[in-house]
A and B are shown apart, each in its own frame.
Chain A
């Protein structure tokens, strides 16, 4: 994962500069990718792996031994294995060639948690394709086997560190079937991006008080046993403090306590109500508040300098608020993956 800076090549070490040149060349060569993308022969690259080189070296050793002992059977074995290597190369290439990738989707995530890249690989051919894998940056998917005429879901969990926009630079679909001697791969450049929300603060200060719009948002008047309103299951971003541990001990789900009062009017989650906090921690607290407010079920609005999202409810509203937090200026900008 690298930060996209105005000139990505400046100051980078030679190897990575070369790599980025090659990446650009490949992208230009292939043109923009639509959805679906068919992995045609022309966009498949293949090279021996380190292991393949080891195999070659072993064969050379076997050849020398056969020559030295003038051993015909040794020659036969060496050549048979050499033939097998060649066949493996073709098999490997063909294992990938003609595969179709479609439906690229990148799910949003909270910083520090993986953003999941999803797409479908389809095998329109007449023979099975085995051990297909996708990788993006340093993350890889599980291996996928596709029987003839079937398709399968691939997901790659991309690690995230900072809030901001997450753009997929390119995806590599690869295979080293059958023996791991060769690796064939293709680069995909789908239009695919998402936002990484700030990580929800673990120890958030209490939300701003106040019952009316004028005096600032307020819900959860009495955060305590009194207002306990029920349980729902755990979601990403919930604070561990809200987990009903006693209830958790009884079942296998993590229940989270819901509190009454959440349905009471709308609240404003206001940037200014957090006083002199630095930007990033402030965003994490706001994130926590948004999650809690959403979990609470009431309407809530979000005020950031320069942005105001009027109170609302529901998943779309939550996404909008979190997105605003993720893209709040002064953050870490865009991440390339």
Chain B
């Protein structure tokens, strides 16, 4: 393709393809197909010299595509439909691309495609791809807009990279200092939680063991100071109080208006960097006492929740007291809720609970009796429990299958406790976390999802009981892989089995967590913290705008100076400068060169007027003439000779 127009088009098509590729699988297939067809059509137009489709056809196609998007997505709003519209727009634009301006518009669409990809997902490994897409679009823009022939790709790429090198510091400082506004500006349909992994607000048998199949990172935690031992790492998520015999659900999430946590013992200060999960849980360590996110609320069940679902990476600083003692009294409503059982479900379990309570002296003993039962009877902790399908799943589990995962144990325990008259509720969240020695951060994955129980004991208030620990203490003390029976392994965690890859995996994870923390999690709170560290505590947006302006101005000045320096006129060759110096010295001695006088004429006149200088001047001029005009260029020794001769020339 030596035809400049074809070359320009080729660049742009390649760049758009690069930008679209990561998003394509998320789009409805017909949209990607439309784009591909448009590309093929446009290439055919170029290659075979066809005419571009006429205006009415393009209009009809565009109209059809827009209707198609509306039909497929039922809306134009939101990321999916918006992205789809963008892609069909690009396709339609391709069909009328003829002029430079069209190429420019296509490149803008390309930038938006990249942005769309970022709004969906931005893991660290996608960074090189994103960078390549942006660079390719920019090169294509450069080529497409250029008035002359397209540049050789090396030159074009070099130019663009150099420009990016200058743009980068500006971008970095704007990134750090541009005032960040928390929260959405206009309400768009939130990203559906369906596409994201994470805890849900209900728990039925099988929920969590399903979640555990995912090796995805749920969140990362970096501690300021000591890191709690594994047995204390209970990350509190949804607290479930409503039980219908099968499923546990949460009631409401009312904020805790009167703080009733007695903070005592050791506290841990840490930062949680949450991956988006489409739900409001912020998953603080039990029990959060202080946090720095204005958008976070502590509920009456001590869950830290956000007002908006966590749709993008979010960082917050929390301080927790694992030994904190919750409220000393139980409100009648809560007591009622925490004791309620569906009357006609799981009758054997209900009977067992009542029986165990009757034979225990106190609530505490009753709780221990249940745990002892789990420990002593042949219960098995497994990721692959048999399916429970009856209307009395707890009965089925307790008396028949006896194989289960944390949700089975938590559910059964809470049910037994309630049957015995002890208020109980199920808490879901994560337990554990793997410490990455490189980043010194705790990585909590979906595979660490867990469920446990809280019972109300008069002496201690709400008390955490982890029935899984009774069956598989390794789950709590170590991790899931160690708790599973022989032959079962954590899905997706196969990398853990290879010693050699362990370091690699942790390095990768450290990189990921840095990325997530510093780039993706950089929000208003983080910005304020950075400013405080820079010595600007409590800086407001005015300071930011001022600082930003000053910095950008400084960079622009530097750029101006550099560009001016770069385009300064080329200096005369050294030989010429030396010759001028020679003439200047002669002029001081009263012999000035006439403007029209060539070097040799001048030397002849010098010889005539000052015979004493003849030899030296003649030699200098000869050297100069050799350097400047000799047909095969003079060898390297000539210039130093001239330099020396001129330096020593004293007329």
Q: Which residues from chain A sit less than 8 Å from chain B, CB to CB?
A: 51, 54-55, 58, 61-62, 64-84, 86-88, 90-91, 93-94, 97-98, 124-127, 130-131, 133, 142-145, 148-149, 176-180
Known: A51-B101, A143-B148, A179-B142. A77 touches B111 (CB 8 A): yes
Tally A-B pairs: CB < 8 A.
Answer: 174
Please tell me which one of the listed residues B138, B175, B311 contacts residue A84 in the complex, with CB atoms under 8 A apart: B138
| The one of B167, B183, B186, B313 that contacts A86, using a Cβ cutoff of 8 Å | B167
Q: Smallest Cβ distance from A249 to chain B, in angstroms?
A: 29
15 contacts between A and B (CB under 8 A): A54-B104, A58-B112, A69-B119, A69-B184, A70-B182, A78-B115, A79-B171, A83-B171, A93-B563, A98-B567, A126-B570, A127-B566, A131-B146, A131-B147, A142-B148
Interfacial chain A residues near B186, Cβ < 8 Å: 68
Distance from A189 Cβ to chain B, minimum over Cβ atoms (Å): 23
Binds A, one of B362-370, B371-379, B485-493, B516-524: B516-524
Are B138 and A79 interface neighbours, CB within 8 A?
no
Q: Which residues of chain A are within 8 angstroms of B312 by Cβ–Cβ distance?
A: 69-72
Query: Please, how many angstroms separate the alpha-carbon atoms of A64 and B184 in the complex?
Result: 9
A180 CA / B141 CA spacing, docked (Å):
9
Complex interface: chain B residues within 8 A of A79 (CB): 170-172, 174-175, 178
Q: What are the residues of chain B within 8 A of A51 when measuring CB–CB?
A: 101, 104
Interface residues on B, range: 35 or more
**Which residues of B sit under 8 angstroms from A74, Cβ to Cβ?**
115, 118-119
> A94 contacts which of B168, B183, B185, B567 (Cβ < 8 Å)?
B567
Looking at the assembled complex, report how far the CB atom of B520 sits from the nearest CB atom of chain A, in whole angstroms.
5
Residue of chain A at shortest CB distance from B151: A130
Q: Which B residues touch A130, using CB under 8 A?
A: 146, 148, 151
Name the distance in Å between B54's Cβ and chain A's nearest Cβ: 26
Pairwise interchain contact B313-A72, C-beta atoms closer than 8 A: yes
Given contacts A65-B119, A124-B570, 5 further A-B contacts (CB under 8 A): A61-B112, A68-B184, A73-B520, A79-B170, A83-B170
Q: Which of B158-180 contact A (CB under 8 A)?
A: 159, 163-164, 166-172, 174-175, 178, 180
Asked if B257 CB lies within 8 Å of chain A CBs, one says: no
Q: Which residues of B contact A (CB under 8 A)?
A: 100-101, 104-105, 108, 111-112, 114-115, 118-119, 122, 130, 134, 138, 141-142, 145-148, 151, 159, 163-164, 166-172, 174-175, 178, 180-186, 188, 311-314, 519-523, 552, 555-556, 559-560, 563-564, 566-570
Q: How far is the CA of A84 from the CA of B570 in the complex (A)?
A: 28
Nearest B residue to A133, CB-CB: B147
Q: Which of A51, A54, A84, A93 has the most C-beta atoms of chain B within 10 angstroms of its own C-beta?
A: A84
Q: Contacts of A61 on B, CB cut-off 8 Å?
A: 112
Residues B112 and A178 in contact, CB atoms below 8 Å apart: no
Per the bound structure, the CA–CA distance linking A179 and B137 in Å amounts to 11
Contact between chains at B311 and A69 (CB < 8 Å)? yes
Asked if A90 and B108 sit within 8 Å, CB to CB, the answer is: no
Q: Assuming A84-B164, A94-B567, is B119 touching A76 (CB within 8 A)?
A: no
Residue of A61, A94, A97, A124 contacting most chain B CB atoms (<10 Å): A94
Contact of A87 with B163 in the complex, beta carbons under 8 Å: yes
Q: Are B570 and A81 in contact (CB under 8 A)?
A: no
Q: Which of B134, B147, B570 neighbours the largest number of chain A CB atoms within 10 Å of its CB?
A: B147
A91 in contact with B563 given A80-B167, A124-B570 (CB within 8 Å): yes
- Taking a contact as CB atoms closer than 8 A, the residue among B142, B171, B182, B185 that contacts A76 in the complex is B171
| C-alpha gap A217/B104 in the complex (Å) | 63
Residues of chain A with a CB closer than 8 A to B555's CB: 86
